[in-house]
Structure 1
């Protein structure tokens, strides 16, 4: 049964699942087409256009191909918290969500309320030191430009290459959950990577300059994540090892 997301994950309460197909990523950081980032007033959202085919994921806990819709970020006023999920009570500075919809449906809107409609891949992002992460800089260069809400900027078409810093084939948690914003449809297969991606403190701070109100520059987007109300038990599985394929 699906649960409401986000949840707190404890390794003492999960099951292990290693007999799964490889989780494959296709096209997420290919240098083709156009990438843009938009300040929506509630987050920073990355989308792609002018590609013959949108990126997609397949395999792992998924029974079908899931097509990329967008990637967005969650963060807080400080580096001590900002993620939606927690792992062993640990919080991270940010959490990024790559949202995908099931290819059996014609688009995201049709899929979003279906039990098998969505797959969201979550990446913890940790602020660490002053040295920028070169791959993540492809994102923050655009964030500097979209401080005002409802503005957008072009990004390098391979702006999600920082995802490839993660060991994408293993060490992820998966469970059946929900959207974390209204109307909270229980339609999401969550895939949450255990190891964070490390970026600089300055790169995380860049997101805190984004404004939530066009008429008040002092109103910033911060704490754009819900409180955890559920602790994950046996509904959560840890995948430790599968081969990773991508072409």
Structure 2
């Protein structure tokens, strides 16, 4: 049964899989089309346009279903010591990025968002550490500087999600059935949460805290835009893809 998200993940209560089907990413950082970042007033959101096909994921716990990219957004706090939504063994990271995808068996995100198999959200922990910028993340953090005002947008390089590739994407992720972490909290999400964080500089995280959240008051900023840990009555079924099967050769 799905549960409300986010949750606290403990390695003591999960199933480890050593021969998981590889989770496959297609097109997420290809240098084609147009990328834009938006200040929505509640987060920073990245979307793609002018592509023949949106990026998609398949495989892993998703089976043969194909989930198309809808948008990516971020959660953060007013300090570097918290800001993520999920935790692993109680550890909190500075940010959590969510790449939202919808099942292409449905016509679009709106049709899919409340279906039990409608959405797949890939979560990446991002942690502020020191002053050395992460080069791959720089395209995002520089774009954030151009959307300080609410309801503004700016162009990004079309390969602005290349930092996702810093992960070993085919494995080392947790999966469970949960919900959206923003209203209306539909329990329609297959969560894919990578264990290892992506390290960026403190400055690259801090730029997010300058985003304006109110059109009439420039002093009000987007901070602490994360949902607290939910505590389900029954522990959800969580799996960890410890290793992935080799890709079959055609």
TM-score, normalised relative to structure 1: 0.97
- Inter-partner Cα distance in structure 2 for 1:18 and 1:56: 24
Give how far 1:224 is off. 0.2
8 Å CA contact 1:24, 1:244 repeated in 2: no
Partner in structure 1 of residue 211 of structure 2:
210
Give how far 1:34 is off. 0.1
Q: CA RMSD in A?
A: 1.2
SS of 1:135's equivalent in the other structure is helix
8 Å CA contact 1:101, 1:117 repeated in 2: yes
Give how far 1:230 is off. 1.7
8 Å CA contact 1:24, 1:169 repeated in 2: yes
Partner in structure 2 of residue 166 of structure 1:
167
Partner in structure 1 of residue 73 of structure 2:
72
SS of 1:208's equivalent in the other structure is helix
Partner in structure 2 of residue 30 of structure 1:
30
The count of residues paired between Structure 1 and Structure 2 equals 245
Give how far 1:157 is off. 0.3
Partner in structure 2 of residue 94 of structure 1:
95
SS of 2:146's equivalent in the other structure is coil
Give how far 1:17 is off. 2.2
- With 127-136 and 236-245 compared, the bigger mean Cα shift is at 236-245
- Inter-partner Cα distance in structure 1 for 2:20 and 2:166: 22
1:181-211 CA distance string (max 9 Å, x none): 1111110000000000000000000000001
Q: 1:105 to 1:234 in 2, by over 3 A?
A: closer
8 Å CA contact 2:2, 2:236 repeated in 1: no
Partner in structure 2 of residue 45 of structure 1:
45
8 Å CA contact 1:119, 1:190 repeated in 2: yes
Note the 1:12-23 alignment, pairs <5 A: 12-23=12-23
8 Å CA contact 1:168, 1:244 repeated in 2: no
- Inter-partner Cα distance in structure 1 for 2:81 and 2:205: 11
Partner in structure 1 of residue 123 of structure 2:
122
- Inter-partner Cα distance in structure 1 for 2:138 and 2:245: 29
Structure 1 stretches of 4+ with a deviation exceeding 4 A read: none
Note the 1:184-195 alignment, pairs <5 A: 184-195=185-196
- Inter-partner Cα distance in structure 1 for 2:196 and 2:205: 17
- Inter-partner Cα distance in structure 1 for 2:246 and 2:131: 32
8 Å CA contact 2:144, 2:208 repeated in 1: yes
Identify unmatched segments of 5+ residues in structure 2: none
Give how far 1:18 is off. 3.0
8 Å CA contact 2:55, 2:68 repeated in 1: yes
SS of 2:191's equivalent in the other structure is strand
Identify unmatched segments of 5+ residues in structure 1: none
Give how far 1:243 is off. 4.8
Partner in structure 1 of residue 136 of structure 2:
135
Partner in structure 2 of residue 235 of structure 1:
237
